[in-house]
Amino acid sequence: MNLKKNDKLILIVGVVILIVAAIGIAFYTSADTDNIELYVPPEEKTFDVTWMEVTMEKPIINGVAKKEYSESETISASAWSVLTNVEFRLDWEDDYTSGLLITKGADTLTAEITKQGGESKTDGNTEGGNLTFSFNVNGRPSDDYVVAETSDEAEERVKEMFPNENGASFDVTVNVQTGEKFGIRPLKFFRFLRDKGNDFDLKITYTYYVFNMEEPEEDNNDDDDVPPTGLGGDYNGACGEFYKNLCYGRGMI
């Protein structure tokens, strides 16, 4: 087939246009591929959370002669901890008694302790001894785990689960009924005036739990970044970025 001169010119121009277009598309695609930044979601980790027991003591009164005592006591453990148990222990001994075979003038001590917003306990004894009042405040938190992207985020999640469980308040009332009653005999009367109550030691022992968070071990296996084989060509360009990001994001599906 013989082409005219104009037809040959048109054919040549068309071929040139196709070549230029192909080069432009290839250049645009290559440049665009080199600048692609695929979004990789942050990898979440599992943080183990364990709770450690701590026991503290708080003395309230030590050796003060009283007939009446009434105060409010607040127990505050460390921030973000869980207060589980509070125990009050009262020790005392009658300081003025008489009689050899039969004790006369024995004092009687009565104590009442009330957890604000909760239960109340009362107990007492004569001539001395000890009294113990135990209160359960919160249950022991269970060892568990949280899933988060960073240790700071994991710590905040634990704090959100136990916001205000580190304290409790109690009303404490102690009364001493002296055994030296006013009577006819002068000695008994003076003993009644002399007895100002009793010394008693009162202290609080409380138990709480603080959490410890263990970060997962880092995976230092470099094989995750090795390109897959059998692709029939060099590992570069968009294909390389695609497989590399698959490695970084594994476990997210």
What tens digit of pLDDT does each residue of 142-162 get? Answer: 999 999 999 999 999 999 999
Give 87 or 232, the one with higher predicted confidence.
Answer: 87
Helix (H) or strand (E) segment spanning residue 159: helix 151-161
Distances, alpha carbon 196 to alpha carbons 17, 96, 173, 190, in Å: 116, 10, 17, 12
Tell me what percent of the residues of the chain surpass a pLDDT of 70: 66
Q: Counting every residue, how long is the chain?
A: 253
Q: Are 176 and 66 in contact (CB under 8 A)?
A: yes
pLDDT above 70 for 98? no
Q: Are 115 and 72 in contact (CB under 8 A)?
A: no
Give the residue carrying structure tokens 């580190």.
Answer: 166
pLDDT above 70 for 243? no
pLDDT (average), residues 24-33: 63
Give 155 or 31, the one with higher predicted confidence.
Answer: 155
Q: Are 135 and 86 in contact (CB under 8 A)?
A: yes
- pLDDT value of residue 10: 77
pLDDT (average), residues 170-175: 94
Distances, alpha carbon 31 to alpha carbons 24, 36, 237, 240, in Å: 10, 9, 10, 15
- pLDDT value of residue 27: 66
pLDDT (average), residues 244-249: 42
Measured at the alpha carbon of residue 89, what is the angle toward residues 85 and 94, in degrees to the nearest 5?
170
Give the residue carrying structure tokens 């135990």.
Answer: 134
Q: Are 130 and 188 in contact (CB under 8 A)?
A: no
- Residue 103's SS3 state is coil
pLDDT above 80 for 167? yes
pTM as predicted = 0.65
**What confidence category does residue 130 fall into, taking pLDDT thresholds of 50, 70 and 90?**
very high
**What confidence category does residue 246 fall into, taking pLDDT thresholds of 50, 70 and 90?**
very low
Q: Average pLDDT of the chain?
A: 78
- pLDDT value of residue 54: 97
- pLDDT value of residue 199: 81
Q: Are 128 and 93 in contact (CB under 8 A)?
A: yes
pLDDT (average), residues 177-181: 70
Point out the least confidently predicted range of 8-22, 63-77, 231-245.
231-245
pLDDT (average), residues 34-38: 65
- pLDDT value of residue 253: 36
- Residue 3's SS3 state is coil
- pLDDT value of residue 9: 74
pLDDT above 70 for 32? no
